[in-house]
Amino acid sequence: MPELPEAEVMRRAVARWALGREVAGVEVGDPAVLRGLGVEALVGQRLEAVERWGKQVVLGFEAHAAVIHLRMTGKVIRVGAGEERSVRVAWRWADGALPVGVIDRRRLGHVTVVRRGEEAGAVGELGPEPWPGVLSGEALAAQLRSARSAVKAALLEPRRVGGVGNIVACEGLWRAGIAPHRPVGSLEPEAWAALGEGLWAACDAVITAEGETEEIRFVSEGAPPEGFAVYAREGERCRRCEGVVTRAQLGGRGTWWCAGCQR
């Protein structure tokens, strides 16, 4: 499932593929994923910017923008490059370059067309993001302070921190040495600062590893899990101490942490 790092790698790929090109036509494979103004409105417009808002990829055309919410299984691909199953919507380019499309096996994602400048309304309320800048301990504490819940549950709320998903939350907490079930109110200033650094490093590690890849792979598709210290590694020895990686449900989500060095 795409989180901030995967969305960033896809953003870069789409920019390489299509920035500056003009839309010649739109293929709709599944009208149910479409929201907002009709996708036909984009025909004839040049792609001026490819942005990432949290986990969402935003295609900025001259007068409109397409906000792509990938949710669980969504992925932005080039149609014709070998991965085009379940194409929900695709844009053809006037110069004949391979179309760019959105695939989404489980159809939880959607594509919303809005007027340029109104992207925020489609993206939804989004807190500050942990990458590319490091969130300071003060900034993190300010965003999470009002929560009464476990620190990991609060991290997964998009309004508090943008772009953090289950993997980034688990890995960031491990890097910071913080147990996921600790109540938000129990973190001291040093822990908040370490968490900001940990979340940044968890994101940056994936972005660096995936580099300029053309076809991002998710964990569910066998992406190399060596980069993860705790996520989906139940029962394995911690890389940092003698502890063992533990799994539990927290806030309804699978959560992995090292009981030895995450306090």
Of 40-48, 65-73, 130-138, 234-242, the window that binds DNA (rule: CB under 7 A) is 65-73
148 binds DNA (CB under 7 A): yes
Q: Which of 197, 203, 112, 192 is nearest to 162 (CA)?
A: 203
Taking the least distance from each CB to DNA, the nearer of 148 and 226 is: 148
Q: Which residue from 186, 199, 179, 181 is spatially nearest to 139, judged by alpha carbons?
A: 199
Tell how strand 110-115 and strand 34-36 pair up. parallel
Residue 72 CB neighbour total at 10 angstroms: 14
From residue 11 to residue 40, the character string flagging contacts with DNA as x (rule: CB under 7 A) and all else as - is ---------------------x--------
Site for DNA in 239-258 (CB under 7 A): 249, 251-254
Least separation in angstroms between residue 108's CB and DNA is 5
Round to whole Å and give the CA distance between 112 and 33: 8
Catalytic residues: 2-3, 55, 253
* Per-residue H/E/C for 110-167: EEEEEECCCHHHHHCCCCCCCCCCCCCHHHHHHHHCCCCCEHHHHHCCCCCCCCCCHH
Tell which one of 167, 173, 176, 245 touches DNA (CB under 7 A): 167
Per-residue mark of binding to DNA, 92-131 (x: CB under 7 A): -------------xxxx---------------x-------
Stretch touching DNA by CB under 7 A, among 37-45, 68-76, 194-202, 238-246: 68-76
223 is an interface residue for DNA by CB under 7 A: no
Shortest separation between residue 96's beta carbon and DNA, angstroms = 31
Nearer to DNA by Cβ, of 23 and 167: the residue is 167
Q: Measured between alpha carbons, how far is 177 from 84 in angstroms, rounded to an integer?
A: 41
83 near DNA (CB under 7 A): no
Nearer of residues 25 and 251 to DNA, judged by Cβ: 251
Residue 55 makes contact with DNA by CB under 7 A: yes
| Residues at the interface with DNA (CB under 7 A) | 1, 3, 32, 54-55, 69, 71-72, 105-108, 124, 146-149, 153-154, 156-159, 165-167, 232, 249, 251-254
